[in-house]
Each structure stands twice: as C-alpha cells, then as structure tokens.
C-alpha cells in the first residue's frame, strides 16, 4: 500500500509540474502522457516493479523541462529517486548538440536503474515519432533522431531484453543497424 501511495504522490507532482506543457505532435497531446507512458512501458513490457524506478520514470523530465529542482525531488521523494532522475537529466545550460553527444557517451556508464528509464524513454519517443511527425520536423530530422537514439541504445545493451528487442525492431524497420 505504501508503494501505491508513493506512486500516486509522484504522478500528481509530475502532472502539476507539466500542466502547461504539450508534446510536439499536431494534436498537442498533454505532456504528462509521456512520463506516465514511460512508467507504463517499464511495468507492462519490461517487467519492472521497482518503486524507485517507476517514480524516477514519472519524474524523469521534470527538472529538464520545468522549474523543478533536484532539491525539491530530494525533499519529497528521497535520495534514490533523485539519484536516478539526476542520471537521466541533461545539463540544461549546454547546447542541444553537446547534450545529445553526452547522452551517447554517458549511456554505458549509467546505473542499471537509470538505464531502465533511459531505454523506456527512448522506446516511448521513437514510437511517438512513428505515430506522427512532430510539427515542423522534416523526414530527415526524424531519421537523424532515430540514428542518434540508436547510438544511445547501443550503450544501454544488456539491461532489459524486452525493451531492447522492441527498440531493435524499430531500428530494423528503418534499416538502422
Ligand atoms: P529534439 O530533437 O531532442 O526533440 C525531440 C525530443 O522532444 C524528444 O527526445 C522528446 O524528449 C521530445 N518530444 C516531444 N514531443 C515528441 C513527440 N511527439 N515525438 C517524439 N519526441 C517528442 O530536440 P530539439 O527540438 O530541441 O532539437 C535539437 C536537435 O535537433 C539538434 O541536435 C539539431 O541538430 C537537430 N535539428 C535537426 C534539424 C533537421 O532538419 N535535421 C532541424 C533542427 C534541429 P522528452 O523525452 O524530453 O520529452
Ligand atoms: Zn522523456
């Protein structure tokens, strides 16, 4: 029961933080669909029931994309969740291209729990790109994103077979090997 309460508290916090944000698709899907969907991939597809991982998945974009601080997460959700969220958060002050390169370099050195969140995040975003092209994106940009994601996922190998198999299938469909 305590776990359920923690997860609801986390979902509520993320929903409040992301309330004014939308995804980049035409329909402007509420942003919170993404962190909830990432957590759902972990529970439904990856077979993960670790509460800290699920909480970190729900919170994974709060610091990167909203005014949330690590101090806030630490105070509300504790050390372990904060540690995972830190590992999956890009440094906001760095240029986009550098951030993308750092994700490739850091992936192999991440902890097991952070790797799980990273895999689920990539899987969700690639499925989202297959579902519909974000507003203003060319097909080249979509392809570049898949190629970059492939490089990150290469560094996450040996973490979770179901998610890695699903990702591999998506890369295969685009002839990325
Ligand atoms: P991204 O290219 O990183 O945008 C993708 C991110 O947006 C995802 O990782 C995801 O992050 C989030 N997102 C929101 N909605 C969706 C959705 N519907 N589908 C998939 N992902 C979604 O960021 P930027 O837009 O900031 O672009 C920066 C990069 O793009 C640069 O590296 C630049 O090189 C490249 N670029 C390429 C161009 C081209 O034409 N080739 C043109 C312009 C830029 P999250 O998980 O955090 O929500
Ligand atoms: Zn994300």
Q: For residue 117, which ligand has an atom nearest its CA?
A: 2
Coil, strand or helix at 158: coil
Best mutation site among 141, 142, 150 for ligand 1 pocket (most ligand atoms within 8 Å of CB): 141
CA–CA–CA angle 50, 56, 57 (5° rounding) = 90
Residue 144: partners with Cβ closer than 8 Å, 6 or more residues away: none
Neighbouring-strand partners of residue 30:
22
Q: Is 144 in the pocket of ligand 1 (CB under 6 A)?
A: yes
DSSP string for 13-34: HHHHHTTT-B-SSTT--BTTHH
Q: What is the mean pLDDT of residues 35-50?
A: 98
CA distance 29 to 70: 26
Q: Is residue 62 within 8 Å of residue 18, measured between CB atoms?
A: yes
Residues labelled catalytic: 64-65
122 lines ligand 1 (CB under 6 A): no
Report the nearest-CA residue for atom 40 of ligand 1. 141
- CA 73, CA 69: separation in Å to the nearest integer? 7
Q: What is the DSSP string of 117-150?
A: HHHHHHHHHHHHHHH-PPTT--HHHHHHHHHHHH
pLDDT tens readout for residues 23-37: 999 999 999 999 999
Q: Is the pLDDT of residue 76 over 90?
A: yes
The answer to whether 32 touches 15, Cβ cutoff 8 Å, is: yes
**What would the mean pLDDT of 27-53 be, rounded to a whole number?**
98
Whether residue 1 has pLDDT greater than 90: no
How far apart are alpha carbons 28 and 164 in whole angstroms?
A: 28
Vertex 22, ends 4 and 173: CA angle to 5°?
85
What is the atom index within ligand 1 of the atom nearest the CA of 29? 18
Nearest one of 80, 53, 85, 55 to 69, comparing CA atoms? 85
Q: What is the mean pLDDT of the chain?
A: 97
Tell me the ipTM for this assembly. Answer: 0.92
**Alpha carbon of 42 to ligand 1 centroid (Å):** 22
All residues with CB under 5 Å from ion ligand 2: 61, 121
C-alpha 64 – ligand 2 centre gap (Å): 9
Ligand 1 atom nearest to 140, measured from its CA: 41
Give CA 53 to chain center in angstroms: 11
pLDDT tens digits along 110-168: 999 999 999 999 999 999 999 999 999 999 999 999 999 999 999 999 999 999 999 99
Question: Please, are residues 39 and 28 in contact by the beta-carbon 8 Å criterion?
Answer: no
| Protein residue closest via CA to atom 39 of ligand 1 | 141
């Amino acid at each position: 029961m305590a776990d359920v309460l923690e997860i609801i508290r986390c979902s509520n916090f993320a929903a409040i933080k992301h309330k004014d944000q939308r995804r980049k698709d035409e329909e402007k899907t509420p942003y919170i669909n993404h962190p909830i969907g990432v957590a759902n991939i972990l529970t439904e597809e990856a077979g993960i029931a670790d509460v800290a991982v699920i909480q970190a998945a729900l919170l994974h974009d709060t610091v990167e994309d909203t005014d949330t601080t690590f101090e806030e997460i630490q105070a509300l959700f504790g050390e372990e969740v904060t540690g995972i969220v830190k590992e999956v958060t890009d440094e906001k002050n760095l240029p986009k291209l550098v951030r993308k390169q750092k994700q490739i370099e850091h992936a192999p050195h991440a902890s097991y729990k952070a790797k799980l969140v990273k895999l689920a995040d990539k899987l969700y975003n690639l499925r989202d790109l297959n579902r519909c092209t974000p507003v203003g994106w060319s097909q080249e940009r979509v392809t570049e994103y898949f190629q970059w994601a492939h490089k990150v996922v290469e560094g996450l190998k040996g973490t979770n077979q179901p998610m890695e198999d699903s990702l591999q299938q998506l890369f295969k469909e685009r002839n990325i090997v």
